[in-house]
Structure 1
């Protein structure tokens, strides 16, 4: 475990350099991982819609079959009633059969109307199904392209990423727990992931706020941990980054 302020600051600077290199790899991937995830969600939505339309068409075809069966059934009844009318003994029986025939004809007309409605709905849904199928195909192609892009970047950077993760893990062991936790919290709060920065023309290298002269002197003296009063980043003298680069990063 590091003891001196200089050792602590150098350990934090080393960790920052390694983390920045890892951040650069992630930046190379850009928004591709999120784009792939969004496309997968979109594709799932279109495929769900396609399945639903197919089920609706199937259900409508079943309804048509049922209506055709009803037409056949009532047509058979009409034929039977008409034959019975030839053998009735009185007007009452004839009228009763006539009403049954009228009812059967009405049922046939209703079923024929329903069949036309179902057929119209099927045609509309087939058009929608065709559009949705095209959307599914387009999303599949787009997703495949994005996946290939991401796979190329990952394959090109995977070895370096694994190496950096191991070096970061090793470097973190040289940072006291309280400073490591503080460093990680600062990194999480910064869009660029910079928790440790050097000064640039008497200003914070992170937020570019002017640093008081006395603080700048203390940075040179390496006498204590100093944080930017504006953004909260850990400030170190520029020489720390130079030393880390010259001495090399932990393998």
Structure 2
């Protein structure tokens, strides 16, 4: 989320710590808005991925059907050619001069008949394959229709939430950028690293009732005094969050 400042200003450490705390409050507000969306973004993405997979499957099945149809035409041509050959051989048998020629032609006829038998067997297999794959297409089309309706509904719901919160998020992001401008690159990266490593996204917490506001472990009095002085970045030795003093009056 970080964007760097275009002009360098020498902010004091206390100003940087205050900016960090402001940034954390802003990011937490944005997190709360995103929670309203719940699992909708993931659900929309999952449905989009599933639909893409189904459409790829449909394309593959159609390609397989085309291949089977091509093979069917090829086998039918082979059957027709074999029948022509058989007719020619039978005509030749009428003009043979001896038994050897007759037997030779008979073997050729037998071979062509076997070719026809094999081709017709393949044709039946291709027909069964096409029928099975068309059933797969019908099933996939049904699922695609259902998933498309689900996607449209969830996408509409998500877009509605985003439309309602767009101006608020835009304002918060502007404030976040302003806070980021008072934080140096190294410190901002550390903040972002902590935010992504903790479950609730709280990288900066206050000391409340002598304890860390993130993990609730006790902070020694001397450590609390150093935190209030704001002269350096102090992190909780238990959870690694950045610790700041409880402000007298938080301004949202």
Q: TM-score, normalised by structure 1?
A: 0.86
1:170 Cα deviation (Å)?
0.9
Q: Which residue of 2 aligns with 1:84?
A: 92
1:103 paired to 2:111: yes
1:213 Cα deviation (Å)?
3.0
Change (3 A) 1:75 1:30: same
1:65 Cα deviation (Å)?
1.5
Segments of 5+ residues of structure 1 without an aligned counterpart are none
Change (3 A) 1:172 1:244: farther
Provide the secondary structure at the position in 2 that maps to 1:243. Answer: coil
1:59 paired to 2:67: yes
Change (3 A) 1:178 1:90: closer
1:136 paired to 2:141: no
Change (3 A) 1:97 1:177: closer
Give me the CA root mean square deviation. 2.2
| In 1, Cα distance between equivalents of 2:113 and 2:189 | 84
> What is the aligned residue count?
243
Contact 2:13 2:231 in 1 (8 A): no
- Residue of 2, 9, 29 corresponding to 2:11: 2
1:115 Cα deviation (Å)?
1.0
1:167 Cα deviation (Å)?
1.0
Contact 1:40 1:143 in 2 (8 A): yes
Provide the secondary structure at the position in 2 that maps to 1:88. Answer: coil
1:176 Cα deviation (Å)?
4.3
| In 1, Cα distance between equivalents of 2:101 and 2:215 | 101
1:58 Cα deviation (Å)?
1.6
1:199-233 residue CA offsets vs partner (Å, 9 max, x unmatched): 23222111111222333355456565432221122
Q: TM-score, normalised by structure 2?
A: 0.86
